[in-house]
Every structure is written in structure tokens, then in C-alpha cells.
């Protein structure tokens, strides 16, 4: 593969005092990017990781589960902690709490389209009221002494694309960076992310822009970065079972030859490591169901993978699952 000398084109992603290299962000994914996952995947080539979104209302009660969501490993710094909510005062309190718990950056979610979030006017529903977005940004900025960023979609529907207006206000009030997932809220995940809007956003404001949406592989991510001129990219679904996408992009950004998607046995060996780490950190009862979906992702595209996936879905204990994966590794090796 021809390698562009991309180091000349791309600089570290600057968020406040944090110079982030490579400028590649592991997307926040609820139910996925817990602290174990962030610590495991960061060394592959993510300059920044983001927690799962945390409800600002829930943070007031400081339940064990909520506090665990904002907890850190110590290996994954800098960490951006993402909050969602609709009330500026509650968002400010939540921001103060997560900052006290070690967040290096506070990220505000103006992008989640899930009904359980938008029915309380949070997430992407905030985009229906740009004044409210501004009030939330101001309140959070006043509450903390670290950089504050936002992550948003284009707008609620294709008829009210408010992202440029929100971005201009974000820049004016002192937001340090903006991530744009280039779909509307009503699109959910339908259609494709329209990167022309990301390029338009980059031209419209001078704070760092992180482009997000449908980056399926490292060459595509590099191409979108160069075409749109963004300061960084965020990758979500393509990372599942494939953290090597980050090492490949890191290599491309530094003008090195990417190693590519590893052989099945290598992937499964890493999957076992992921599994064992999750069991040791979360305990078997919680890790086993969570790891079913991850194993499914690691098992993409090799002979016998679908049969193995089905068998793994039925396992009940970690020992049983790990035995099956190990037997497959032995067969593949």
C-alpha cells in the first residue's frame, strides 16, 4: 500500500493543555467503553478515550454503578468523561463531581438519539433548543477548571441542521473542541455519515474539530481526515473486535506501513486476554454476558466462526468459554 507522509499534514489534537497524539479518539459507547476496555484499547493507538455517557441526574445519587462509570484505570489518561442531561445547574454539579473524580476533560453529549435519553430532552434533543445548549455549555464551563468539549449530531432532523449555530456559540463561550457525528438524530444509524458537513464545520470555526461517523478502516479514516481538514477522528463501531484499526491509523499518520488486520489466531489470543482481564476486573457474573458480544466481534470472518459464535453464546462459565476459544486457537495455529 502506498503510504502518504502524513506526519507533515497532521498535528497533535490540542484540547486545552492536552496535546493528543495520535489524534484518534475511541468513541464513547454505552455498555462498551468501560474503564477496562478503555485501558485495554488505548495502547493500540488511541490518543484519547471517552467514558460511556453518564446521566447528570444519576450522578446526584452517586450509586456504585454510576461512580464506577466515571472511575479510571490510571492507564488511560487523558480521559474525557461524558455527561448528558438537560438542566444547566444539574449538568454543572455533575461536571464538578466528575472533575473531582479525575476527569481531564468534560464532554457534553448533544448527540444521543436513544428515546430513553431524548424523552427527557437530553442528548440530541438538546439540539432542538440552541439557547439551552448554550446555557448548558456556559454552566459546565463555569463549574470546572479543565477543558470542556461537546459531541453532537447535525441537528434533530434534516430540516433543522443547527450544528453550525451550536458550534459558533460553543466557540464563543469557550468550548475547547467539538466532535460531530455527521447524521441527524432522526437518522439514528440509517444512511451514511455526511462528511461534507464535517468539512463545513471545520471551515466555520477555529476550535479543534473531531470528525465521526462510518470510519470503517484506517485508510478511510486517513482519507476523511485529509479531505475534511479535521484535527482528529473518532472511531466507534469499527473498533469493536478490531482495536488494530487504531494501530493501523497510527502507523499511517506517522508514515509507517500498517500491519493490517491480524490472523484469526492472533485475534483470538487477544480476545482471550480481553476476556481474562474483564473477568478479573468485573467478576465472572458481569463479565461473561458482556464478553459474549465482544467475542462475537473478534470472531469475524474465518472458517467455522459462525458455528463457534453460536456455541459461545450458550456457554455459562468463563472457564467453558475460554476452553472453547483456546481449542479454536490451537486448531487455527
Ligand X SMILES: Cc1cc2nc3c(=O)[nH]c(=O)nc-3n(C[C@H](O)[C@H](O)[C@H](O)COP(=O)(O)O)c2cc1C
Q: By the criterion CB under 6 A, which residues form the site for ligand X?
A: 27-32, 52-53, 82, 109, 111-112, 151, 181, 212-215, 235-238
Least spacing, CB of residue 55 vs ligand X, in Å = 10
Least spacing, CB of residue 169 vs ligand X, in Å = 19
Helices and strands (DSSP H and E) totals, the chain: 14, 11
The candidate with the shortest Cα–Cα distance to 103, out of 164, 188, 3, 18, is: 18
Least spacing, CB of residue 92 vs ligand X, in Å = 19
The candidate with the shortest Cα–Cα distance to 152, out of 135, 120, 128, 173, is: 128
Q: How far apart (Å, rounded) are the C-alpha atoms in residues 173 and 293? A: 40
Q: Note whether 183 and 194 are within 8 A (CB).
A: yes
Categorise residue 152: left if φ over 0, alpha if ψ from -120 to 50, beta otherwise: beta
Least spacing, CB of residue 149 vs ligand X, in Å = 11
Q: How many C-beta neighbours within 10 Å does residue 258 have?
A: 20
Q: How far apart (Å, rounded) are the C-alpha atoms in residues 210 and 150? A: 10
Q: How far apart (Å, rounded) are the C-alpha atoms in residues 226 and 221? A: 9
Which H helix or E strand runs over 165?
helix 163-173
Residue 26 pairs in a beta bridge with: 49, 235
Measured from each CB, the residue nearest to ligand X is 236
Least spacing, CB of residue 117 vs ligand X, in Å = 9
Q: Active-site residue 126, yes or no?
A: no
Q: How many C-beta neighbours within 10 Å does residue 307 have?
A: 9
Q: Note whether 111 and 133 are within 8 A (CB).
A: no
Give the active site residue among 101, 112, 126, 146.
112
Q: How far apart (Å, rounded) are the C-alpha atoms in residues 259 and 267? A: 13
Q: How far apart (Å, rounded) are the C-alpha atoms in residues 288 and 83? A: 27
Least spacing, CB of residue 25 vs ligand X, in Å = 9
Active-site annotation, residues: 112
Amino acid at each position: 500500500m502506498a503510504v502518504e507522509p502524513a506526519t507533515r499534514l497532521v498535528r497533535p489534537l490540542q484540547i486545552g493543555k492536552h496535546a493528543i497524539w495520535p489524534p484518534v479518539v475511541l468513541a464513547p459507547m454505552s455498555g462498551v467503553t468501560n474503564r477496562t476496555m478503555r485501558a485495554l484499547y488505548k495502547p493500540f493507538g488511541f490518543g484519547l478515550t471517552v467514558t460511556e455517557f453518564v446521566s447528570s441526574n444519576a450522578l446526584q445519587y452517586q450509586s456504585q454503578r454510576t461512580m464506577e462509570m466515571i472511575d479510571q484505570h490510571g492507564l488511560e489518561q487523558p480521559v474525557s468523561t461524558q455527561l448528558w442531561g438537560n438542566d444547566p445547574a444539574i449538568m454543572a454539579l455533575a461536571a464538578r463531581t466528575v472533575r473531582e473524580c479525575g476527569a481531564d476533560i468534560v464532554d457534553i453529549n448533544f448527540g444521543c438519539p436513544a428515546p430513553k435519553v431524548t424523552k427527557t430532552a437530553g442528548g440530541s434533543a438538546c439540539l432542538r433548543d440552541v439557547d439551552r445548549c448554550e446555557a448548558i455549555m456556559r454552566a459546565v464551563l463555569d463549574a470546572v477548571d479543565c477543558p470542556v468539549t461537546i459531541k453532537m449530531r447535525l441537528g434533530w432532523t434534516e430540516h433543522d441542521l443547527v450544528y453550525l449555530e451550536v458550534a459558533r456559540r460553543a466557540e464563543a463561550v469557550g468550548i475547547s473542541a467539538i466532535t460531530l457525528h455527521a447524521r441527524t438524530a432522526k437518522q439514528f444509524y440509517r444512511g451514511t455519515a455526511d462528511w461534507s458537513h464535517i468539512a463545513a464545520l471545520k471551515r466555520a470555526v477555529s476550535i479543534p474539530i473531531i470528525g465521526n461517523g462510518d470510519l470503517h478502516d484506517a485508510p478511510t479514516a486517513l482519507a476523511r481526515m485529509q479531505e475534511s481538514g479535521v484535527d482528529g477522528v473518532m472511531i466507534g463501531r469499527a473498533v469493536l473486535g478490531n482495536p488494530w484499526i487504531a494501530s493501523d491509523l497510527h502507523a499511517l499518520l506517522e508514515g509507517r506501513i500498517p500491519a493490517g488486520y491480524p490472523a484469526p489466531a492472533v485475534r483470538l489470543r487477544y480476545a482471550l486476554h480481553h476476556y481474562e482481564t474483564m473477568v478479573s476486573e468485573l467478576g465472572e457474573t458481569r463479565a461473561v454476558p458482556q464478553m459474549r458480544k465482544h467475542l462475537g466481534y473478534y470472531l469475524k470472518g474465518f472458517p467455522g466462526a459462525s458455528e463457534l459464535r453460536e456455541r459461545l453464546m450458550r456457554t455459562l462459565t468463563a472457564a467453558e468459554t475460554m476452553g472453547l476459544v483456546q481449542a479454536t486457537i490451537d486448531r487455527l495455529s
